[in-house]
Structure 1
Amino acid sequence: MTRAAAVLLTVALGAASHAADPPLITHTTDRNDYTIRFQVFIKPSRDASADRFALTMADIYFPFIESTSSSTGDPNSIRTQFWWRKQIATEEFRILPAVPGFGRFGAVEFRADRFAFRGAGVPSLDQTVTEEVRFQYEFASVNRETVFDEKRAAQIPWPQEFPPELRAWLQPEVLIQSTHPAIVALVNEWTGANPRALGPVMLAKQLCGHVVDHMMPTEPAFGNNTRGGIAGIDVQGAAFAAVEKSGSVFDMAALLVAVYRAAGIPARLVVGLDVERTNRQRTPAFQAWVEFALLDPSDNRVEWIPVDVVRQRSFSSRAPRINQPWEYFGNNRFLDTAMPLSFHFHPPDRAVGSGGIVSFNAHALWGWTPSPLIAEMDQTLNIVVMGTPQRGGR
């Protein structure tokens, strides 16, 4: 459908309704209701000395996005399974408390001593040994295109200060090194060491343009396991992209988040799935974009504004003029087929209240703390996206 013909919905996802002053981000009637099934298979790598491994206990962590500028997740749709010794060991999970500056995560607890001898005869010494484990989770979300009222947004000034829940999105994290000297130097160069000379929206747009000009991203980089399967996302991080002026599309998105934070704009990464490409090529088509928080001091309303720096770069190798609308700054006609999965490449320790979280071969949005710690393992991802069945209409 054309934008001119679109019927705009005036309810912004993740933002409060305000009768006299409509949201800055609105949505067309184009929407998709998706359910994702995310599977991880773990087995010894081809380099391992044995084809089995011991596992006595593990805590497994997976991301769940409640809302973005374009999506609303359904926590009641979450389902999990942990397979061990070719059987479902547990389907129980819990949603962890939200931590400011991090997305939501769920947790699954596996204990072999609760399961090892179920239905068995005489216990044997190898009851904790298995050839493979499998973790699966699924959840549903509603996804929409976005339309941005940039003219009105550009009039919003800087707040005197951000509330704690937004200040948390200014902090550095793994792979988004917003205090790294190279990133700080870029921000100083691009802003004349005075970021607030522009309003927050124009600053965000200017910095996006500089990142577009700064690097040429490669095609999505995936980490493979020793069997040639897709293990996850190959990302070097924002500091690498700043210094080398190269990297994957994930590095480019990470760089923009880091640049925003270094300039004083609360921002977050969104790692998602291009649903149409995933279903067409039958392999996970991960993608990444950015959202920055815009706080209106007049009513303290917060809206998250999507910025797809990767698509903007593919649309034009040079940033357009800052005083004209951009195709992927706030506006995005592809977000109805982009399903957000996580605000992080890997579960942060602080987000789940645990340390030593690992995955194998590559970052893959999930992680676990197996005991005993396992080396020389392969993980393989299998992701399926389905239309969510509708009951009684939308």
Structure 2
Amino acid sequence: MSMTFEHTTLGQRVLFGTGQAAEHLTAELDRLGATRPMVIAGERVQAEAWSATAGITAALWWDEVVMHVPVEVAEKARTAATEASVDVVVSIGGGSTTGLAKAIALTTGIPVVAVPTTYAGSEATNVWGLTEDRTKTTGVDDKVLPVTVVYDAELSKTLPLGMSVTSGLNGMAHCVDSLWAPRTDPINQALALEGARALALSLRGIVADPDDMDAREQALYGCYLAAVSFAGAGSGLHHKICHVLGGTFDLPHAQTHATVLPYVLEFNAPAVPELAGRLATALGGETSAGDPAGAAVTALRELYTAVQAPCRLADYGFTADGIPEAVERIVAAAPASHPVPVTEQNITDLLTAALTGDRATVAA
């Protein structure tokens, strides 16, 4: 069968090494000729930030990091960066931290060097997101793609175990969504499937032994592949759902992605059996010639059981009262190329299932 597609590979430098964050960050700022870095690090990762920046002197240290990047926070940070004559932004933390750095880059053009401490993957995409008036808006702009990513598994050691799981499953959602997102192609799918394999193994390893540095390295490797595939494939239904739940209802980012993922997979998988079968294999499940969709869903559910992943949006404050507004917003944002036609009824069913943890209500 012939293949016809267009694929763009984003230009980015990756420096990977456990215990080498400070060394790599110092060398990278020297390479860039940057002398006035703005360091963004939230309160939870101050110790990691001081360790990673041991070889540099910050012109500005910023610790106001807010989930979903409210516009007003972005504006404050942009103004501060300009007033301090910053020539590079160093983000140390998870997706919210990277998102704020991207918001600064979007309007100022200041380059970003990302030092992730979670498995969010935002550091490897040219996608930005800002929230205003209960609406999260995303866009694509190469200015926001970090010029360099510094990965150091040591920096993830203080991430609480539950957050390690939900953050890793957020990365898994990038993989699964990339299999059928609007711009997907065979390269994105290959990256996504390898990312899913690495994340499935690494999350089991981290839960079994939080000090397993090999597993933590594999998790960073997997989340990077997940994000690269997502950057190429674009945002599918899963991400549209989670952007609404996060931006409009202020649900926590990683936990929401982790909770919603199995329901979206169960919704989509029957329409893409070949991809579902490959995903089942990547997740370590038993493939089934007769029911590849079921095999993929079962493999993901088995992973969720093994790592004690969340399964109910109700646990994060979402209620049935919010479903009608969420459905309206999701249906309006859903990609036209989605494998299963999106309707108010099937999205209502999906959200109801995700709210209560009841798989029986999911039906395309």
- TM-score if structure 1 supplies the norm length? 0.25
Q: Which has the higher contact order (CA 8 A, sep 6+)?
A: 1
In our comparison, the structure showing a higher alpha carbon Rg is: 1
- TM-score if structure 2 supplies the norm length? 0.27
Which protein has the bigger helix share? 2
